[in-house]
Amino acid sequence: MTHDPWLADLLLDRGGALADADVAQTVAATLATRDPSLTGHELATQALLDALEQTWERGWQPADVVHNARRAVTAGAVPLAVALIGEHARRSDAVSRAPDAWVDQLRELGALAPVDPAVVRTWYLSERRPPVEAWRIVLQLVGVLRCAARIETLLPPPSRWGSPRSRPAGGAAGDERVLRRIRGLLAKAESTEFPEEAEALTAKAQELMTRYAVDAALLDPGTSPTDGVGTRRVHVADPYVRAKMQLLAAVAEANDVRLVWYSSLGIANLVGLPADVAAVELLFTSLLLQVAQALAAAERAQGRRSASRSFRRSFLLGYAHRIGERLQTARQRATAQAAAEHGVDLLPVLRSRREAVEKATAELFPRVRTSRSRASVDAGGWYAGRQAAERADVGHRRSSLR
């Protein structure tokens, strides 16, 4: 390892100040002159891995780290963050020791591919960035990791993983089957050119989600609902994070899933039965795509390239409000049909599930508080959003709003 006391002190002992973009840029300019070929890459890699280890202990998970790297540093930091997570996974034997949800995130991020231990050097050579920009990303990522706030620990960090073990193949077959059917309905909704058909398919997907939840509860009435309550984090990108969270809240509420979010991080925590949580994330992702398309169409209809930020935010809020109404209607219809078919009163069953989710939420997030936005709303955007929600063509790809 290259011995550079100044760099070691900067990265290993005083890295927290580097979270500030201006500080990181200033120091990067100095480093680009002192070390234009990044010969200090070993120190940088070690500093990043040390900071990453501390981040795990504060409740962060792999997908959280990548989301925050993109949000707080730049999209250019994402490949470096993924490579660091991959190297940490190799050193910690995460594949055989980490919780299943942790390994799933590694797989989705592409962090299980072979990684060169010289993470920073390999990233620098592959990205071909100017030295000052490369150093700025490295420095700021060190700072962001070291300054990461403490959040609730939903999965055990590496320090609490047990001995290596073999993983059972497969998962909950029933959950996978219903999620495949939901994906199929949403894909058809996206491909149709007829708004009425898209709305019907969206409602059908919600009804399927409700029926599966009801049937699962009725088939195994002796099992305590609290045994199956789980969590999942959803990451919401800028801009209009608060408005997008309202859309996610509408989908969650229609499916007896509770949402707790960190307003400054763009991270939402979903608490509910596993199939419900997975379906909520799937439907939310689809609706995000459609609302982006609907907003673009609304702007074209107004004959302008770009609407005001107030209009866009209000459009999202109106869309979320109307989508929530539609999903609740579909839920009530499916519940009534299930009650008639089974000849039972479903209210006690559904109440038991809701109480189990509420209890788990209170235990996981004891300091949670409710909040409401007090920002002004553009009436034109609000009603345009509601009208777009009537025509929602729900898809399965990810998209973001400008």
Predicted confidence (pLDDT) at residue 241 exceeds the cutoff of 90:
yes
Q: What is the DSSP letter of 10?
A: I
DSSP string for 285-297: HHHHHHHHHHHHH
Question: What pLDDT sits at residue 376?
Answer: 45
Q: How far, in Å, CA of 240 to CA of 200, rounded? A: 28
| The predicted structure's pLDDT at residue 378 | 44
> Which amino acid, residue 308?
S
> Residues 305-334: pLDDT tens digits?
667 888 889 999 998 998 899 899 988 888
pLDDT at residue 399 is higher than 50: no
- What residues have CB less than 8 Å from 337, skipping those under 6 apart? 207, 211
Would you say residue 11 has pLDDT above 80?
Answer: yes
CA dist list (Å): 101 to 97, 156, 171, 229, 252: 12, 10, 12, 14, 20
Please identify which residue in the block is written with the tokens 């250019």: 76
Q: What confidence tens digit (pLDDT) does each residue in 183-231 have?
A: 888 888 777 666 667 677 878 888 888 888 888 777 765 555 556 899 9
d(CA 381, CA 402): 15
CB 42 within 8 Å of CB 119: no
Helices 78-92 and 100-109, axial angle in degrees (round to 10): 140
Encode pLDDT of 260-314 as tens digits: 999 889 999 999 998 899 989 989 988 887 788 778 878 877 776 667 888 889 9
State the average pLDDT over residues 57-69: 97
pLDDT over 70, % of the chain: 84
Before 157, cis peptide (omega within 30)? no
Strand order in the sheet with 230-235: 230-235, 267-272, 258-262
Q: What are the CA-CA distances from residue 8 to residues 46, 61, 81, 271 (Å)?
A: 10, 27, 20, 42
- Are the CB atoms for 255 and 280 separated by under 8 Å? yes
The residue ranges of every structural domain in the chain are 5-153, 173-366+375-390
Higher-confidence position of 59 and 353 = 59
Query: 353-379, pLDDT tens digit by residue?
Result: 889 999 999 999 988 766 554 444 444
In one-letter notation, the amino acid at residue 399 is: S
